[in-house]
Amino acid sequence: MDTSDLKHHYSQQFNSELEELRSRVLAMGGTVEQHLELAIEALGTGVSAGAETVVANDHKVNAFDVEIDERCTKILALRQPTASDLRLVLAVIKTTADLERIGDEAKRVASMAIRAASGEHGRNLYGQIVHLGNQVQQMLHSVLDAFARMDVQAAVQVAHEDVNIDREYESVMRQSMTYMMEDPRAIPSVLDLIWAARALERIGDRCCNISEYIIYFVKGKDVRHTSLDDIRKEIS
Domains and their CATH numbers in the chain: 3-235 (1.20.58.220)
Q: With 90 as the cut, is the pLDDT of residue 127 above it?
A: no
**Range 101-115 average pLDDT:** 94
Report angle CA 200, 26, 69 to the nearest 5 degrees.
90
Write down the pTM of the prediction: 0.90
The one-letter code for the residue type at 199 is: A
Residue that wins the pLDDT comparison between 163 and 223: 163
pLDDT, tens digit, 9 for 90 and up, residues 145-194: 999 999 999 999 998 999 999 999 999 999 988 888 888 887 888 888 89
What is residue 9's predicted lDDT score, i.e. its pLDDT?
A: 42
Residue that wins the pLDDT comparison between 83 and 232: 83
Nearest CA to 93 out of 111, 76, 80 is that of 76
What is residue 1's predicted lDDT score, i.e. its pLDDT?
A: 36
What is residue 5's predicted lDDT score, i.e. its pLDDT?
A: 42
